[in-house]
Structure 1
């Protein structure tokens, strides 16, 4: 299996960052809240920004209001409850 690591400090892969983004994380800070990527040496923050891109974020209005994005765990819990 070919894993592309984004954050070597915490062993976070590109796939994990994309999964958190799909779950609603729109900023590097929200990615950091979900998996710690970018919180140690910080060298991966630009890579995380590139993965997130500059596209539309479905939760941008909530982010601008200071509301955090859903973590992957929260999304899984909501799906199980449905």
Structure 2
């Protein structure tokens, strides 16, 4: 089995990042919350961004449809929910 590691610090593979993206993670921060990738040395964040850039994201779809304000509001709500879950 050939594994392509995205995050060496936490041994997170490209496949794992894609699985988290398919489950709804749209940002490197959301990937970090799911599997810690990008939270230590940070050298993998650009690679994570590149992987996420190829997938579907509700916010990206809203921007493409000409609704950037709604996309920004959705991002704020997602960030707030993430902050609350981290605080709990």
Ranked by relative contact order (alpha carbons within 8 Å, sequence separation 6 or more), the top structure is: 1
In structure 2, the CA distance between the partners of 1:64 and 1:7, relative to structure 1 (3 Å rule), is farther
2:37 counterpart residue number: 37
Q: Deviations for 1:8-65, whole angstroms, at most 9, x for unmatched residues?
A: 0000000000000000000000000000000000000000000001654136699999
Structure 1 position 66, deviation (Å): 20
In structure 2, the CA distance between the partners of 1:80 and 1:41, relative to structure 1 (3 Å rule), is closer
In structure 2, the CA distance between the partners of 1:68 and 1:12, relative to structure 1 (3 Å rule), is farther
Moved over 3 A (4+): 59-73, 75-82
TM-score, reference length from structure 2: 0.64
The structure with the greater share of residues assigned to helix is 2
Q: Give the conservation status (yes or no) of the 8 Å contact 2:4–2:14.
A: yes
Bigger drift between 7-16 and 53-62 goes to: 53-62
2:13 counterpart residue number: 13
Task: List aligned pairs for 1:23-62, cutoff 5 A.
Answer: 23-53=23-53, 56-58=56-58
In structure 2, the CA distance between the partners of 1:38 and 1:63, relative to structure 1 (3 Å rule), is farther
Please give the root-mean-square deviation of Cα atoms over the aligned residues, in Å. Answer: 7.4
